[in-house]
Amino acid sequence: MGDEAAEYYDRMLVDAEWGEAFCLTFVRSLDDAALITAFGGDPEKIMQPADLAQVLDTFRYGDEPATLVVATVAAWHVGIEINGDQGARSEVLRRLAAAGDGTALSVVRDINGRSELTYVTGDRTQLVLDSLRPERRSGSAPEVLDALLAGLPFGYRDDVIPEAAALALAERVTGVRLPFDLMEQDLPGVVLTVVPDDLVPEGGQGLAALDHPFVRRMLAAPIPENVPAMVAFRTRLIAEDAGLLGEPAVREILDALAADRPPAPEVRGRLRELHERLTGELQAMNAVQDLAAAAFPGDDPMERFATAYAIRDSDRSLQAVVLRRCARHALRGTAPARPARAPAPTAARRTPGNPGAYDAVAKEFAAWQPEKQRSVTRWLARRAFEVAGLDTLDWARPALEALDKGEPLPFPDRRAVFRLISAAALVTATTGLPLDQLENRLTEQQRADLRERIDRAPMAVITIFNTAHADPAQALADTYTTALETFDGRAEDLLAELRAEFC
């Protein structure tokens, strides 16, 4: 027997058009004005739903500002964001807790697969719980809600949407149940000004890595004049951590950045040769990619702070994060953040996922004839299913055959397909066994492969639905960016395959 509250929220999210990407934030003992202010909004500019919708209709999909809708359930205020995640940020939750009775929590799901519950008391994030893998927890007291977790079906257990389990946990914390028709109510809303990131992440306060004299100077003066020095210092951190200081092209880049001058044009080619020589060493290739972004930036100055490489040393990693935040603070207004967004249920869609990834190839794709755009779109969706390991499943084969023929997909709606990619459904489709009968029948590698399939499946499904857009160019844009998510953002790998097939 499953948990009644989780099953209730599962039905609620399946029925809700907003259920693909949302953030619900709970706080008590404050009024609407204090809630809106903590989110970065102006209480004097709160609007009725029709007025807010009219404002948002003036933006193209993907370009809309962050917005907040406000509801009251018993003693709790609930901040509702569709396609938003401000309430999942510690900067916002700590402001909310301070404005209320000291406690705030949120449940978030975004288009890139992030699914978390965050619980804050006072000025500390006590718990961040991964709804897909509840054993993954962080925060200053990751066990703080353990007494309330019993029986909740996280990780698609009992074929329940993970965010439904998170909302059931929120109900246990707050003691209130969200109305089933929450988003059908006449709720006021407001456009937000995004609350800036803390220059130092909450968990980094007081750590020795921030005692470095240069980092201290940048924290004291996060101004545009200091951004070139931030770029140079952070780029050296990446090169050191990746073991690339011995490469001549890397040394030339570091010397040029330290002198605040552009590297010689021929260094770009030598960096490309280094990248090719490192083929197969993914982390080293990512480091070279970040070095190239720092040395040869595009129009967005924040591109110089690219994050493809995962710095291994904890001190270097913290310093790099802080410098990136200082740069964003310094450049605020010149490089606005653009959140990932789920496909809109009604209005014309714009590219979801990583907009910058499509911008890099937009002109090339737009120059193709509609027939080629459609062919590439279908190929991308098939590759997404292949990379996600879905192409061999019984229900997927007819869909891919219909895709190849340009016929309608054989699904009643996308919600029905998301039921087919729950953890329980994928385990059974892959192994022939119910989830609760797996026990120790899989090797560690098989378990790892299965987890990867579960992680990639949602974006693959969104990819195949994106092919149906009436505009071939928009279908290609949407499909490319979501297919890229199944490739873990490895644009070069996906493009190499695409060009080998079509160019």
Query: Mind listing the pLDDT tens digit for each residue in 169-210?
Result: 999 999 999 999 998 899 999 999 989 889 998 878 889 999
**461 found inside a domain:** yes
pLDDT at position 262, please? 93
Q: 269 and 173: one domain?
A: no
Do the domain assignments include residue 374? yes
- Number of helices (H) and strands (E), helices first, in the chain? 20, 8
Query: Which residues fall within 8 angstroms of residue 117, CB to CB, at 6 or more apart?
Result: 105, 106, 107, 108, 127, 128, 129, 131, 166, 169, 170
In terms of domains, do 311 and 458 share one?
Answer: no
- Looking at the fold, whether 362 and 324 belong to one and the same domain comes out as no
Whether 291 and 187 map to the same domain: the answer is no
User: Alpha-carbon distance 83 to 418, whole Å?
Assistant: 18
Return the H-helix or E-strand segment holding 126.
strand 124-130
Q: Concatenated DSSP letters for 230-256?
A: HHHHHHHHHHHHHT-TT-HHHHHHHHH
Boundary-marking domain end, from 330, 363, 382: 330
Tell me: do 156 and 245 sit in the same domain.
no
Residue 252, pLDDT score: 96
Which residue, 150, 176, 191, sits at the end of a domain?
A: 191
pLDDT of residue 125: 95
**One-character DSSP codes across 10-72:** HHHHHH-GGGGSEEEEEEES--HHHHHHHTTB-GGG-B-HHHHHHHHTTS-TT-PPPEEEEEE
On whether residue 362 sits in a domain, the answer given is: yes
326 and 402 housed in the same domain = no
Residue owning tokens 């844009």: 477
Instruction: Evaluate whether residue 421 is within a structural domain.
Output: yes
β-pairing, 137-138 with 22-28? unpaired
Residues 35 and 160 in one domain: yes
CA distance 40 to 370: 43
**Do residues 308 and 369 share a domain?**
no
- Both 159 and 284 in a single domain? no
Asked whether residue 324 falls in the same domain as residue 364, the answer is: no
Structural domain of 417: 355-502
Residue 347 inside a domain? The answer is no
Residue 387 lies in a domain: yes
Structural domains counted in the chain: 3
**How high is the pLDDT of residue 353?**
39
Does residue 234 belong to any structural domain of this protein? yes
* Per-residue pLDDT at 397: 87
CA distance 366 to 364: 6
Task: Classify residue 210: in a domain, yes or no.
Answer: no
| Segments of the chain with pLDDT less than 50 | 1, 335-340, 342-356
Residues 6+ apart with CB under 8 A from 283: 242, 309, 310
DSSP state of 105: E
Question: So what's the pLDDT on residue 336?
Answer: 40
Residues 329-360 have pLDDT tens digits of: 999 855 444 444 544 433 223 333 344 455 66
Same domain, 15 and 151: yes
Query: Do 266 and 396 fall within a single domain?
Result: no
Residue 431, pLDDT score: 64
Does the pTM surpass 0.75? The reply is: no
